Structure 1
Amino acid sequence: MNRKGPRLGEPASLWRMRLVPIASVMVASALPLMLPLIANSPVLPPLGLLLFLCWQLLRTEMWPVWIGLPLGLWDDLFSGAPIGTAVALWTFASLAIHYVEQRIYWRGFYHDWAIGAGLVAAIQALAALITHPQADAVRVLSLVVPQIVLSALLVPLFLRLTGMFDNFRLKRR
């Protein structure tokens, strides 16, 4: 039987449905190590966290609440933060997004941007305080503010990128 293109009603590839979201977050978490950038303070946004939050905002029902545990552990291995920092904070973010999902029935673009930016700011600030417990909190947070601002401004771009990944994930053959 020689057919051209996908048949009507044919489901998308199960491997692609499951692998694309997880692989995209894992690659985004490891990507900053591959870039040749040397800096005294954090300048690159946490790409894995941004993609994780955008997947959660776009497809809340796709992942269980505990998905922050393995993906956060993967991010901890590449970020240099103490093991368990991203595990706890990403799980907290997942719980927060599921809570907001139950409270706000009709979310728009600006809601998702505000939720994503707020969670990125909170997670980065808490991660910086956890990573440097002996340092002055005001000084540590002042070092992280440019990274937080850049991350908050990049949330719409990552929402768009996540949408493109989702279209690829759901495409038939």
Structure 2
Amino acid sequence: MIDPHLQHVPRLGRHPSRFRLAGTPVMTVMLGSSVTILPIVAQAPVMPPFGLLLLLSWRLLRPELWRAWIGVPLGLFDDMMSGQPIGSAMFLWTVMLIGIDAVEHRMVWRSYRQDWLIAAAAIIFCIAGGLFLARITGGGDIKLELVAPQMLWTILLFPFVVRQCARIDRWRVMA
């Protein structure tokens, strides 16, 4: 008699858990937003917003995964982690997701370069909008020139983050 623990279990026909399918993208965005609590000291904003990068990556990689309202809870978590005024990422991320939906409905097909262009516009919108909202709520006098390197670094980092999301996505849907 063969021990049941040593038998081969076929992977065909098995499905991943619902938590794995739905929770993995949310958890990665939350982990990306949590990177801001690392003890890094800098004179100017140099750290890319990893939560935003992961949200964009998941949205452009898997458009059917989330609705536009997901920007509200994930933005709230990002606001709490980053120290931005509460509601800034909630508002900016939701508007960004609605804008991406509007652009996608007008496009017949999308290529990798178009995804990168969409992500670049979204990154510039969210970082500049976060700077504006922080400034009007008394967050200091940070000029756009100080944030421009962060924008550029974030845009250049986007392809790497999309590849990592694709790897995580392969694991996520694998049974």
Moved over 4 A (4+): none
Matches of 1:102 and 1:167, distance apart in 2: 26
In structure 2, relative to structure 1, the CA distance for the partners of 1:70 and 1:6 (3 Å cut) is farther
Q: Is residue 132–residue 140 contact of structure 1 (8 Å, CA) maintained in 2?
A: no
Distance 1:112 1:65 in 2: 17
Q: In 1, distance between residues paired with 2:131 and 2:68?
A: 24
- Tell me if 1:23 matches 2:27: yes
Provide, for residues 11-41 of structure 1, a one-character-per-residue CA deviation record: whole Å limited to 9, x for no partner: 222110011000000011011212x310121
Provide the rounded CA distance (Å) in 1 between the counterparts of 2:107 and 2:16. Answer: 30
1:58 equivalenced with 2:32 (yes/no): no
User: Which residue of structure 2 lines up, in the alignment, with residue 43 of structure 1?
Assistant: 46
- Which structure 1 residue ranges, 5 or more long, are not aligned? none
Corresponding residue of 1:121: 124
Deviation, structure 1 residue 95: 0.5
- The residue that corresponds to 1:152 in the other structure is 155
- For 1:146, what is the secondary structure of its paired residue? helix
Kindly provide the CA deviation profile for residues 34-54 of structure 1, in whole angstroms up to 9, marking residues without a partner as x: 2x3101210000000000011
| In 2: Cα distance, 1:33 partner to 1:77 partner | 10
Residue 97 of structure 2 corresponds to 94
Q: Secondary structure in 2 aligned to 1:132?
A: helix
- The number of equivalent residue pairs is 169
Q: Contact conserved, 1:129 with 1:140, CA < 8 A, in 2?
A: no
Question: How far apart are 1:5 and its partner, in Å?
Answer: 4.2
TM-aligned CA deviation for residue 8 of structure 1: 2.1
1:94-143: CA deviation from partner (whole Å, max 9, x where unpaired): 1111112211131111111111111001110111011012666xx62111
1:7 and 1:68 map into 2 onto residues whose CA distance is: 35
3-state SS of 2:95 partner: helix
What secondary structure does 2:14 align onto?
coil
* Root-mean-square deviation (Å): 1.6
Structure with max Cα Rg: 2
Matched, 1:103 2:106: yes
Q: Which runs of 5 or more residues in structure 2 are unaligned?
A: none
2:168 to 162, 165, 168: 165
Q: How far apart are the structure 2 equivalents of 1:162 and 1:101?
A: 20
Q: Deviations over 1:76-99 (max 9, x none)?
A: 001111000000000011111111
SS of structure 2 residue aligned to 1:163: helix
CA–CA distance in 2 between the matches of 1:98 and 1:108? 16
Counterpart for residue 9 of structure 1: 13
Could you tell me how far apart the structure 2 residues matched to 1:113 and 1:151 are? 11
Equivalent residue, structure 2, for 1:33:
37
